[in-house]
A and B are shown apart, each in its own frame.
Chain A
Amino acid sequence: MHIVDGALSSEVIVTGAVLGVVGVGYGLRKIDIDAMPRVAMMSAVFFVASLIHVPVGPTSAHLIVNGLAGLMLGWAIFPAIFVGLLLQAIFFGFGGITVLGVNTINIALPGFVMWLVISPIIARTDGKMLLMAGFVAGAGAIGLSSMLVGLSLAASGQEFITTAKLVVASHIPVMVVEGILTAAALHLVKKVRPVMLEPAGVLRSAT
């Protein structure tokens, strides 16, 4: 999921950087003091989860938790993912500095989309439907991310169909695991502390 330095053409990198700055900037304005711990926590969860690694078939995969992060953060997912990616790039050479914008968009945008689509449903449902919504959010965010990675690579000269197939195929197990994980986490949070799923402070007034 993390594209490395040197894999993308400069047009894609610049586009990603511009979109990334817009997302992070707008996301930062949406964070207020109430939402701060939540953003920090999801940023840390993303940072750690995407470093834990499971070999899957010919490649190896890791969790990304962008679906869950999106549901809990809304706009604030952009700065949260950005900070996590920045530290991963500096500490582990995981991803890269020049592709930070592209990676931020590839990972955060699907989470944000899930927030737009799934959050209104979550507010109204319970039980099995809630679990279903969580699964869709978790799996859908990974699926969208894979497509975006395929698109980024295709825009840099690789053939889209083969690349997208490769990326999506290697993320199918991750989609399933993330779906289950997001559903479980959503269920737990809604039961224990439903306030965490509601937009806080500025986030609330913005919607």
Chain B
Amino acid sequence: MLVRFLISLIAVFSALMGLSMNAQAHSLHVFAMGNGDIIDGYAYFGGGARPRNGEIQLLDRDDKLLFTGTTDDQGEFRLRISHRQDYVIKANSGDGHIAEFTIHGDELSSQLPKAAQDSEITVSEITGTASPPKAPAPIMGMGNKTETDGMIALSRDELADLIDAAVARHVRPLREQLVAYEDKVRFSDLLGGIGIIIGIFGVFAWVKAGRNQRNTKP
């Protein structure tokens, strides 16, 4: 009877899992990407909701706090940074959920000076434009192009920046998908977990039963 109840319960939950495909851990996640001299991204909960006014921290690789801000109404944030190095974004929704995301220095513009041990890194928040940048982030020295016969002469650096921005734009959805895929709770994991739970208590029952049997032997 109990076993039948257990089986039917698992069946019901299996059906539920099949229906709701957005079964994800109720944890906070952060996604961010470097683009030029801008780091932009967003924080989100497992179910897809975004934390408004969640705390955002930018740290360097030595866990030194560089910047503290909050997410906007869409759970997004945009930060302009002055040096190229690895950064860590930390988000805290205030109810016990914290998430981390690492941004590699390679994602940022190669024109930015490399951060040294003693370099003063400045971080500023960009507000107003909530939508992600369509055009590449303007980097110093751009804008005074010489135009002849409809052809634009670009310096090597400007071209590199444009290519970086274009690649970043196209790679972004792919990376978002990858991160989301990694965070997803998979049905096989769930079944495995249930199996392990039954196994743990099974072993426990076996040990206890063995002791009882020994005890009752004449």
List residues of chain A with CB under 8 Å of any chain B CB. Answer: 1-7, 31-33, 36-41, 43-45, 47-62, 83-84, 87-88, 91-94, 149, 152-153, 158, 162-163, 166-167, 170, 193, 196
Contacts and interface: CB of A to CB of B under 8 A. Distances in A.
A173 to B, nearest CB: 12
Given A60-B47, A87-B197, A162-B94, 9 more contacts: A7-B92, A43-B197, A44-B6, A44-B10, A48-B190, A52-B13, A52-B20, A56-B49, A58-B52
Nearest to A41: B6
Interface stretch (B33-41, B116-124, B163-171, B204-212): B204-212
A48 B208 contact: no
Contact of A51 (B6, B185, B204): B185
B109 interface: no
Nearest to A102: B96
Contact of A60 (B1, B26, B92, B204): B26
A111 B85 CA distance: 48
A194 to B, nearest CB: 12
Contacts of A4: 27-28, 96-98
Contact of B51 (A40, A59, A61, A88): A59
B151 interface: no
B96 A57 contact: no
Given A51-B190, A58-B49, A94 B25 contact: yes
A7 B97 contact: yes
Contacts of B26: 1-2, 50, 53, 60-62, 94
Contacts of A7: 92, 96-98
B45 A92 contact: no
Contacts of A36: 201, 204-205, 208
Contacts, number: 148
11 contacts: A36-B205, A40-B202, A48-B13, A55-B47, A58-B52, A60-B49, A83-B201, A93-B25, A93-B27, A163-B95, A193-B5
A83 B97 contact: no
B49 A55 contact: yes
B3 interface: yes
Contacts of B97: 3-4, 7
B23 interface: yes
B22 interface: yes
Interface in B1-56: 1-3, 5-6, 9-10, 13, 16-17, 20, 22-28, 45-52
Contacts of A50: 26
A50 B189 CA distance: 14
A57 B9 contact: no
Closest 8 CB pairs of A and B: A60-B47, A40-B201, A3-B96, A55-B47, A94-B25, A36-B205, A60-B45, A92-B25
B57 to A, nearest CB: 12
B178 interface: no
Contacts of A167: 95-96
Contacts of A56: 49
Given A48-B190, A53-B23, A37 B96 contact: no
B208 A32 contact: yes
Contacts of A31: 204
Contacts of A6: 98
Given A51-B25, A55-B47, A92-B25, A44 B95 contact: no
A87 B191 CA distance: 12
Contacts of B13: 45, 48-49, 52
Contact of A158 (B5, B17, B49, B94): B94
B137 interface: no
B200 interface: yes
